[in-house]
Amino acid sequence: MITSESPATTPLFKMSGVSKRYGGVHALENAELTVKPGRIHAILGENGAGKSTLIKIMAGVVAPDEGQMLLNGRPVSFRSPAEACAAGVTCVFQELSLIPDLSVADNICIAAPPRHFGLINRKAQRAIAEEMLARAGAEDVHPRALVKDLSLSRRQLVEIAKALAWKPRILILDEGTSALTATDVAKVFSVLRRLRSEGLALLYISHRMQEIAELADECTVLRNGRNVMSFAAGTRSGSEIVEMMIGREYSNAFPPKPARATADTAPPPLECRKLCWGDSLRDISLAVGRGEVVGLGGLDGQGQREMLLALFGVLRGTTGSVLVDGKPVTLTSPAVARSKHIGMALIPEDRKTEGLMLEMTVRENLSFAVLDRVSKGGVIDRKKEGQLIDEMVQLLAIKTAGFDIPVSELSGGNQQKVVIAKWLMRRPRIVLLNDPTRGIDVGTKQEIYQLLRRLAEAGAAILFYSTDYDELIGCCDRVLVFYKGSIVRELRDGGITQHALVASALNVEGEKAESAA
């Protein structure tokens, strides 16, 4: 069926009717994808649209439930990443697959190191590593350095170099630039362009529309696991593409923001001045008022997480001051941060490692953060615990078959609700949220937005980090945009738009100013 096409546009790889389900979630449904050599193919979609799932299937990490894949016209199915790589399909994953305790050179050649007499030839390996690092534009990374000692952006480049060592025909980058600075991004782009000219097929996933406009030859948009459309780059406007990705009006999803009382003379519940922590936080000053929802924006990894962790007492060696209700406080641990006179709560980013004890019961998880309140002299008052839990479960409409089943048996969204509920039980006055809606379905998201608003109305001060711009737009009274550990811009009310967020996140003006200086 592909014979009639000219060689230049002959698909190298074709995927059709591919579906993948995780429990009740359709991560992919009937997905189609055609990849041609010498082209950069962008895949677009919201968080959770199924992009990563799609390329994991291509790369042999995940087995599809149905559908078929053709490589050079021949049906293939990969049982492991190694098989896919050997066939020429190599992926740079969103979660890095580097081994922290091994050197860069070891990592680059991990799967098929050069050998003589059966042993790894380190000289040859070194040569390969240097070559690949150069191709990936990371000449400054020493091949003997240990991966765990590298910064995140260097690791990304090493990951690309590692992929190149496979001599792939199809190279996939899943948000391969999300942690990179603009200069590094430019470097990677030139590398990618060169690879394109060498005839590789490139699949590129990114949330940065700008990059896609600059780089892509073709685009495919996914939404809720389905193909929306494939088209040649430049044939659709940016806003059309966003429309396709989102496919709905966002205003509906969010509760209305109340008009803010203007003159609140009381000291703000949370304020910090000149907060610094290494390179990740530089002179951060901000204040969150009663009933206010303040968003943290910007690209991922610009210091937003560190900001929340610093406030919650997790980081050592922070400088600057934090004031709660106008009084300076010293935050040395989460135990202090949650204490009565401070009343902070942090909804963590990764519920599996930071939020829940997966093997413990729903009850135990829910009451974990309020153990001090439901107990007397260290003995848990089961009745009081039960009441509180009942209330909270009602409030958040958590769907569970009972309180005494392991929380791991709940669906992801309900697990996330448990994490939130466990903190709401403390009735916190300051709520820090670290990207709480990741991997959660739309309905649950809406409930969470409403809850946020209700909390704010009840007087809480809320600091809300999200990687999803729509959420920031829909939920926040103000958004502070982070860039390289500093707040570069404050957006308020009507000023919080997709464009403003993206522009300030990339620090377009700032970069320009920097390069001009």
Partner 1 sequence: MSNVTREEPVSSSPKIARRLDPAIATAFGCIILLLIIGSFYSTSFLSPQYLLQQLKVASFLGVIATGMMIVILLGQIDLSVPWSIAVGGMMACAAAAYGPAGEVLAIPFGIVCGMAIGLANGIGVAYLRIPSMIITLATNAVAQGLMVLYTGGFSPQDSATFAMRYLATGFLLPAIPNAVLIWAVIGSGTVFALTRTTFGRSVYGIGNRESAAYLSGINTRRIVLIAFIASGALSAFGGALLAGYASKAAQSMGDAYLLPSIAAVVLGGTSILGGRGSYLGTVAGVILITLLQSILSVMQMPEAGRQIIYGTVIIAMLLLYGRSPANR
Partner 2 sequence: MKEWRYRLHERRGTLMAAAVFFVMFAIYVSNHPAGLTSNVVQTAANKGVLLAFVAMAQTLVVITAGIDLSVGMIFILTNALASWVVLGTAVETAFGVIAVLTTGLFCGALNGLIVIYGRLQPIVATIATGAIFFGIALLLRPFPGGSVNEELADLMTGKIFGTVPASLIALAAIVLVIWVPFSRSIIGRTAYASGSSETAAYMSGLPIRRAKFTAYTLAGLLASIGGLFLTFFTFTGEAALASGNAYTLFSIASVVLGGVSLFGGKGSAIGAVFGALAFRTIGDLLFVFDFDPLWQPLFQGVVLLVAVSLGAFGLFRVRNRLEWFG
Ligand X SMILES: Nc1ncnc2c1ncn2[C@@H]1O[C@H](COP(=O)(O)OP(=O)(O)OP(=O)(O)O)[C@@H](O)[C@H]1O
Residues lying near Mg ion in the complex (CB under 5 A): 52, 94
Using the 8-state DSSP alphabet, how is residue 82 labeled? H
What whole-number distance in Å separates Cα of residue 450 and Cα of residue 517? 45
Q: Is residue 422 at the binding interface for partner 1, with CB under 8 A as the rule? A: yes
Stretch that binds partner 1, among 206-214, 237-245, 441-449, 468-476 (CB under 8 A): 441-449
Q: Rounded to the nearest 5°, which phi and psi values hold at 387?
A: -60, -50
Q: Least Å distance between CB 341 and partner 1?
A: 14
Site for partner 2 in 114-153 (CB under 8 A): 115, 118-120, 122, 142, 144-146
Among ligand X, partner 2, Mg ion, none, what binds residue 431 when CB lies within 5 to 8 Å by partner kind? none
* Total length of the chain: 517
What whole-number distance in Å separates Cα of residue 332 and Cα of residue 482? 24
What whole-number distance in Å separates Cα of residue 384 and Cα of residue 431? 24
Q: Choose between 380 and 442: whose C-beta lies nearer to ligand X.
A: 442
Among partner 1, ligand X, partner 2, none, what binds residue 402 when CB lies within 5 to 8 Å by partner kind? partner 1
Contact in structure between 62 and 10 (CB atoms under 8 Å): no
Contacts of 58 (CB under 8 A, 6+ apart): 13, 15, 33, 69, 78, 84, 89, 91, 170, 172, 203
Binding-site member from 119, 266, 335, 517 for partner 1 (CB under 8 A): 335
Residue that has been written with the tokens 């690092």 in this structure: 133
Stretch that binds partner 2, among 68-76, 105-113, 285-293, 383-391 (CB under 8 A): 105-113
Which stretches within 338-465 are classed as H helix? 362-366, 382-396, 412-424, 442-457
In order of 308, 316, 324, 429, the CA distances from 341 in angstroms are: 18, 21, 9, 10
What whole-number distance in Å separates Cα of residue 46 and Cα of residue 469? 10
Each residue 194-233 as x (binds partner 1 by CB under 8 A) or -, in order, gives: ----------------------------------------
Site for partner 2 in 283-342 (CB under 8 A): 309, 314-317, 333
Contact in structure between 295 and 456 (CB atoms under 8 Å): no
Q: Is residue 416 at the binding interface for partner 1, with CB under 8 A as the rule? A: no
Q: Choose between 120 and 397: whose C-beta lies nearer to partner 2.
A: 120
Strand (E) or helix (H) holding 386: helix 382-396
Binding-site member from 394, 515, 516, 517 for partner 1 (CB under 8 A): 394
Question: How many binding residues for partner 2 (CB under 8 A)?
Answer: 37
Contact in structure between 412 and 440 (CB atoms under 8 Å): yes
Binding-site member from 115, 193, 194, 248 for partner 1 (CB under 8 A): 248
Among partner 2, partner 1, Mg ion, none, what binds residue 410 when CB lies within 5 to 8 Å by partner kind? none
Contact in structure between 252 and 296 (CB atoms under 8 Å): no
Q: Is residue 111 at the binding interface for partner 2, with CB under 8 A as the rule? A: yes
Contacts of 416 (CB under 8 A, 6+ apart): 351, 355, 436, 437, 439, 440, 444, 448
Q: Is residue 375 at the binding interface for partner 1, with CB under 8 A as the rule? A: yes
What whole-number distance in Å separates Cα of residue 61 and Cα of residue 190? 28
Q: Least Å distance between CB 174 and Mg ion?
A: 6
Binding-site member from 7, 118, 378, 494 for partner 1 (CB under 8 A): 378
- Round the CA-based radius of gyration of the chain to a whole number and report it: 25
Binding-site member from 46, 53, 93, 289 for partner 2 (CB under 8 A): 93
Q: Least Å distance between CB 439 and partner 2?
A: 18
Site for partner 2 in 8-67 (CB under 8 A): 61
Binding-site member from 346, 431, 452, 505 for partner 1 (CB under 8 A): 346
Cα–chain center distance at 147? 21
Among partner 2, Mg ion, ligand X, none, what binds residue 120 when CB lies within 5 to 8 Å by partner kind? partner 2
Strand (E) or helix (H) holding 508: helix 508-516
Burial of 26 (0-12, 13-18, 19+ CB in 10 A): middle
Contacts of 508 (CB under 8 A, 6+ apart): none
Site for partner 2 in 342-401 (CB under 8 A): 354
Residue that has been written with the tokens 């001045």 in this structure: 273
Q: Least Å distance between CB 265 and partner 1?
A: 31
Q: Least Å distance between CB 319 and ligand X?
A: 34
- Residues in the site for ligand X, rule: CB under 6 A? 22, 25, 27, 45, 47-53, 94, 103, 105-106, 122-123, 126, 143-144, 412, 439
Q: Are strands 319-324 and 327-329 parallel, antiparallel or unpaired?
A: antiparallel
Q: Choose between 252 and 265: whose C-beta lies nearer to partner 1.
A: 252
Q: Choose between 237 and 332: whose C-beta lies nearer to partner 2.
A: 332
Q: Are strands 461-465 and 430-434 parallel, antiparallel or unpaired?
A: parallel
Among Mg ion, partner 1, partner 2, none, what binds residue 483 when CB lies within 5 to 8 Å by partner kind? none
Each residue 142-171 as x (binds partner 1 by CB under 8 A) or -, in order, gives: ------------------------------
In order of 11, 53, 241, 246, 259, the CA distances from 50 in angstroms are: 22, 5, 17, 13, 37
Quick one: tokens of 488?
């570069």
Binding-site member from 54, 85, 281, 410 for partner 2 (CB under 8 A): 85
Quick one: tokens of 212?
């896609």
Q: Return residues touching partner 2 (CB under 8 A).
A: 61, 80-83, 85, 93, 96-103, 106, 110-111, 113, 115, 118-120, 122, 142, 144-146, 277-278, 309, 314-317, 333, 354
